[in-house]
Amino acid sequence: MTAPLTRVSTEAAPGVKPSRGPRKEPLRRQVTGWLFVAPFALVFLAFLVAPLVYALYLSLFRNALIGGTSFAFLDNYVRAFHDPNFLDGAWLVIRFSLVLIPLQMAISLVIALMLDGIKNWFTRFSRLTIFLPYAVPVVIGALMWGFMYSRRFGPLTQIFDIFGASAPDFLSKNLVFAGLLNIVTWQWAGYYMIILFAALQAIDPTLYEAARIDGAGSVTIALRIKIPLIAPALVLILVFALIGTLQFFNEPSILLKLAAGSITPHFTPNMYAYDLAFGRGSFNYGSAISFTLAAVVFVCVYIFMFTTRKRGNFLS
Amino acid sequence: MSAATTYATRKARRPQHISIQIVLALALVYFLVPFWWVIVASSKDAAGLFGGTSALWFSDRIVWADNFRKLFTYDGGMFGRWLLNSALYAVVGGVGATTLAVLAGYGFAKYRFKGRRFSFSVLLGTVMVPATALVIPTFILFSQFGITNTRWAVILPTLLNPFGVYLMHVYTRDAVPDELLDAARVDGAGEMRTFLQIALPLMRPAVVTVLLLTVVQSWNNYFLPKAMLIDNRLYPVTVGINQWQNIASGNNAGTTSLWSLIILGSLVSVIPLIIAFLSLQRYWQGGLSIGSLK
Amino acid sequence: MKRKPFLAVALTLAVAGALVACSANGGDGGEATTAPPADGGGGTDATCTNTITKTDLPVVTMWAWYPNMDLAIDNFNEANDEVQVCWTNVGQGGDEYEKFQTAIAAGTGAPDVVMVEADRILNFQIQGALSDISPYVTPDIKANFSDGAWKDVSVGDAIYGAPIDGGPVAMIYRQDIFEEYGLEIPTTWAEYEATARQLKDAGGPLFGDVGANNPALLMALQIQRGAEPFVYDPKTPEQIGINLNDQASKDVMEYWGRLAAEGLVGTDDQFTPEYIAGVIGGDYATYVSAAWAPGYLQGAGVGQEEDAGAWRTAPLPQWSAGDNVQVNWGGSAFSVSSQASNVELAAKVALGVYADEATLTDGWVNQIIFPLNQNVLNSAAFNDLESEFFGGQQANKEVYSPAAAAYGGTAYSPFGQVYLDTLQEHTANVSDGTETASDALDAVQATVVAYAQEQGFTVIE
């Protein structure tokens, strides 16, 4: 497993194609290349491009209870940007991202660093168990935590009782934000941690030796050597986290049943789109909301990638 | 590094190690508590669950056997059917997506064809398109073709995994030397043979990683099957358990307390993936780094 | 190792082939218990929870969620030689409606007969999702239900549902708590509040609960005060009167907000295991609920443990002493969807299921439903029933039958779900004090009016 990794670290700079023969490939080879890509391209066109185009098309119409379907051009989008349900939801996922992502990154990074420093059975075991929540379907994870949060049946009440305090109600309107934060962190910290851990493992250990000879302690090594060297991986998980969080749907929609007063059907834009389409039959406006959300994610991510391009990212 | 230095530095690091491992242990507790809760709760009957027994310890009646029996016989063995569905969607979707990703990744990495850079950029861009934004239009499109509420409706969209293509591309680019391929071609081997016999073995770690990731994604899929399927005999286990949860909240299971089934079902549905991860550790622990390296 | 991709591809193709062979329409091919859908089947390939024995008869598919539905279906299938019913429970209330809505959008997948609560019928009818069954309502059947019951399932002269059950609202209370604290049963809302204070001062539990997730109940209570949320005349379907923030509505919202703010009633969501545990444990002295509540509560385990025999029911408190304004919460009908291929057969099923004596009796004896069938309502057996849940009290005679008799019907809107969701959201705000009752209802009015106008209605406020 290590062979390819060290080869990568000595490769030419990203973006530069090492010259390997004539620039223009023979036509036969080009066709073969396309053939290899073709099956995927077909699926891509059928299940990504076509739906997106169709969603765009749908979003240009409106379907009212009185009056049926009519061409609306950009009316749905104008409506979306004045729709408090959408705006509140968008603001919520942005706030959620702003809190969750640094938190998750910090947790994953700290754990990865801890695991990188020590090599014994315990850390191997930890690595695995911390990753395990990723294997739990989101639906199940939310269900588990929903029960855990229950004031009556969950363990929190009992645990807090030991300290003589009353357990917070993570399903209440005030704390449901924190409650969701917890579930997502629990579920994904391990996944990001493994990515960072693998990146840390790929660092040439002689760098550490040199630093230690210079008198650097573990913390300094971590801050000055490790973290900068795994910056691309950090950027990667930031992007993943951003995409995932802006599309927040699964956990709040499961908890909706348990916390009906705290979570509305339009709690996040994705939930709103779902409710519009499948709850009210408003596929047109629902598509517009979906499309708007997708565009927002796109823009956010591109902005983010652009601002971190010097740190290295996978867009090369 | 000399043996003496190693020993000295190792000795100096020990107290640090202890405190770090304590922190790790605490983190472990946090990540493991819900699993423990599920194991304990799945052994209880309704009275145990809701009767005020300690949430993190067993009640005086441990009824795993009974719960298991009920889980797999309720509603004509619906849960077993859901498990099989999940497995089907995960395997077919996962294998299918991986196959497409491997082929496409190889194509992008090893062939310089016209439009390659453009296609690849488009591909990367779409990694950012949320899958859920596609569900609504995909649903309507499928309904035009009359394939909603079928297994295809769930499997086909999951064949799409742009990130898998990216992973394969990055790995293949570096793991499969062009010289080897050229040598094979000079020897007269066809492109497909070259791919299968020369390149593919070298791509194995990435293939397994992508396979694992796509299988996990498909197994955990919730939104897509929920939107597409009406017939509950086609549900994967995620949607099925959610339906039980809704029924249980509305208390329309008559006299059966569905909660025990829901909790045990949750536990059972998680086990296959955990086993998969544990047994394939070697591959994915390294494989996940591929995409992050320069 | 080299074989891996071959295996993978081969496996995929093999499985794909099997899938294709397995029929593209969702059902597993060889299910012995499923009759091939003949004339009657319009929707999905049958996935029946019940077993059909008369396999040569046409099949009608049905979605319903009554707890004793299996009994109803079996009784019907056994007695009927013209058609058989294939039933599934795809979810209760909103969950089923979501699936129905999806099927409407897809143009396929809807069952022939679908259980719809009275307040959602208009919404589906206006989308063209329901079939008019008035041609099949014979005078015999007509006589079985009151005019009010028929009104709730009709749009103009067209009938879109076969009435089954209703939900007259009353106040369930804990006899043991009332006795322990020496409380009198309140007959007016002022007395309700005073008694609640009395209980609180004595250190007792909460007097009741105003869960945000019961908007339909709140709507009913507002109607009791005199509110008229919607005015809709099917003859002018593009017009609708919306009045959600009148004084009556505000009074009711403000009343409950006050009780919540003073800690006299809880604000927990209902229909959760948490709430049920509280109910069993005596956390709430009263439960303002509908006649189907005892069945629901019993199914959840209430009335069987330490609270066995402790429950009683009393008429809903009034705003003025001596009034008899009764309201309704819930109640469903069986509608025929517009995707049914044989509307007549489907209508026969809708009008025939849950209409036989055995099923009805099972329903009301166990207090699962409050039947709207007049034969039952007027029968001595029904009225003399000594409810086990209520410790032998003749609940129907004393409370529910009079309530049902005095109920005059409700005017619903074609977008009830939007209204209820909005009301729910703002009730939660009032409960935790972030919004005053008046502001909350003004916001609800604004939102619903905006929605109605956006949907093309002319709104009269």
Quick check: B99 and C68 CB within 8 A?
Answer: no
Q: How far is CA A29 from CA B103, B190, B194, C186, C442, in A?
A: 15, 11, 13, 88, 69
Looking at beta carbons, which residues of chain C come within 8 Å of A264?
Answer: 421, 424-425
pLDDT band at A311 (very low <50, low <70, confident <90, very high): low
pLDDT of residue A227: 84
Instruction: State yes or no: pLDDT of B199 exceeds 80.
Output: yes
Q: How far is CA C31 from CA A273, B240, C22, in A?
A: 37, 20, 11
Which chains would you list as touching A if contact means 3+ CB atom pairs under 8 Å? B, C
Quick check: C90 and B232 CB within 8 A?
Answer: yes
Comparing CB atoms, the residue among C94, C425, C456 nearest residue A264 is C425
pLDDT of residue B176: 83
Closest CA to A185 of A260, A256, A106: A106
Quick check: A66 and C237 CB within 8 A?
Answer: yes
Sequence-separated (6 or more) residues with CB below 8 Å from residue C365: C385
Count Cβ–Cβ pairs < 8 Å, chain B vs chain C. Answer: 126
* C-alpha of C240 from chain center: 24
Percent of chain A's residues with pLDDT above 70: 90
Q: Give A 224-283 residues with CB within 8 A of chain B.
A: 230, 232-233, 236-237, 239, 243, 246-247, 249-250, 254, 257-258, 270, 273-274, 277-278, 283
Percent of chain C's residues with pLDDT above 70: 90
Domain span(s) for CATH 3.40.190.10 in chain C: 34-166+330-378, 169-327+383-460
Q: Among B135-144, B275-284, C444-453, which range has the highest average pLDDT?
A: C444-453
Looking at beta carbons, which residues of chain A come within 8 Å of C102?
Answer: 278
| Second-level CATH architecture of C169-327+383-460 | 3-Layer(aba) Sandwich (3.40)
B168 in Cβ contact with B206 (< 8 Å): yes
pLDDT digits (tens, 9 = 90+) for A69-125: 888 888 899 998 889 999 999 999 999 999 999 999 999 999 998 888 788 888 888
Comparing CB atoms, the residue among B50, B146, B252 nearest residue C89 is B252
pLDDT of residue C245: 92
Percent of chain B's residues with pLDDT above 90: 18
Two structure tokens written together for C234 = 């099917």
pLDDT band at B291 (very low <50, low <70, confident <90, very high): low
Residue with tokens 């694992």: B212
List of domains in chain A: 82-311 (1.10.3720.10)
pLDDT band at C448 (very low <50, low <70, confident <90, very high): very high
Pairwise CA distance, residues C390 & B86, whole Å = 45
Which pTM was predicted?
0.83
pLDDT band at A226 (very low <50, low <70, confident <90, very high): confident
Q: Are strands C208-209 and C265-266 parallel, antiparallel or unpaired?
A: parallel
Q: Among A159-163, A238-242, B122-126, C10-14, which range has the highest average pLDDT?
A: A238-242
Two structure tokens written together for B156 = 């086909």
pLDDT of residue A243: 85
Pairwise CA distance, residues B28 & C236, whole Å = 65
Buried/exposed code over B53-64 (b: 16+ C-beta within 10 A; e: otherwise)? bebeeebeeebe
Pairwise CA distance, residues B278 & C192, whole Å = 60
B248 in Cβ contact with B157 (< 8 Å): no
pLDDT of residue B130: 62
Pairwise CA distance, residues A172 & A53, whole Å = 40
Sequence-separated (6 or more) residues with CB below 8 Å from residue C252: C218, C221, C222, C224, C225, C227
pLDDT of residue C180: 92
Minimum distance, in Å, between the CA of residue A98 and any CA atom of chain B: 18
Comparing CB atoms, the residue among B23, B56, B129 nearest residue A155 is B56
- What's the mean pLDDT in C127-136? 93
Instruction: State yes or no: pLDDT of C25 exceeds 50.
Output: no
Residue with tokens 């109940």: C217
- Is B179 exposed, middle or buried (CB count within 10 Å of its CB: 0-12, 13-18, 19+)? exposed
Looking at beta carbons, which residues of chain B come within 8 Å of A135?
Answer: 216, 270, 273-274, 276-277
Checking A205-210 for CB contacts under 8 A at 24+ apart, the result is: A209/B1
Average pLDDT over chain C reads 84
Pairwise CA distance, residues B63 & B264, whole Å = 11
pLDDT digits (tens, 9 = 90+) for C293-344: 888 888 777 887 778 888 999 999 999 988 899 999 988 999 999 999 999 9
- What's the mean pLDDT in A40-53? 89
pLDDT of residue B174: 80
pLDDT digits (tens, 9 = 90+) for C245-273: 999 999 999 999 999 999 999 988 888 87
The arrangement of strands across the sheet holding C169-174 comes to C286-290, C169-174, C311-315
Q: Hey, what amino acid is at A166?
A: S
Looking at beta carbons, which residues of chain B come within 8 Å of A277?
Answer: 136, 139
Comparing CB atoms, the residue among C421, C428, C456 nearest residue A64 is C456
pLDDT digits (tens, 9 = 90+) for B227-269: 888 888 899 999 999 888 887 776 555 555 788 888 899 999 9
* C-alpha of B278 from chain center: 13
Looking at beta carbons, which residues of chain A come within 8 Å of C425?
Answer: 264
Q: According to DSSP H, which parts of chain A are helical? A: 2-9, 27-44, 50-59, 75-82, 84-117, 121-131, 138-149, 155-162, 176-201, 206-213, 218-221, 227-229, 231-246, 250-255, 269-274, 283-307
Residue C76, CA atoms < 13 Å, CB-side half-sphere: 27
pLDDT digits (tens, 9 = 90+) for C172-225: 999 999 999 999 999 999 999 999 999 999 998 999 999 888 899 999 999 999
pLDDT band at B10 (very low <50, low <70, confident <90, very high): low
Backbone angles phi, psi at C168, to 5 degrees: -60, 140
List of domains in chain B: 3-41 (no CATH), 66-292 (1.10.3720.10)
Closest CA to C26 of B149, B138, B152: B149
Quick check: C277 and B50 CB within 8 A?
Answer: yes
Two structure tokens written together for B272 = 């296959």
Q: Residue B74 in 3-state DSSP?
A: helix
Q: Which residue of B has its CA nearest to A254?
A: B242
Average pLDDT over chain B reads 82
Residue C371, CA atoms < 13 Å, CB-side half-sphere: 25
Q: Residue B72 in 3-state DSSP?
A: helix
Two structure tokens written together for B285 = 């622990």
pLDDT band at C88 (very low <50, low <70, confident <90, very high): confident
Superfamily holding C34-166+330-378 = Periplasmic binding protein-like II (3.40.190.10)
Q: How far is CA C164 from CA A141, C132, C144, C298, C358, in A?
A: 39, 17, 10, 20, 14
Looking at beta carbons, which residues of chain C come within 8 Å of B227?
Answer: 102
**DSSP 8-class letter at A62:** E
Instruction: State yes or no: pLDDT of A284 exceeds 70.
Output: yes
pLDDT digits (tens, 9 = 90+) for A112-136: 988 887 888 888 888 888 988 988 8
Least confident of A34-48, B20-34, B178-192, C159-173: B178-192
A16 Cβ under 8 Å from any chain B Cβ: no
Two structure tokens written together for A305 = 């990638």
Pairwise CA distance, residues B101 & A207, whole Å = 36
pLDDT of residue C124: 92
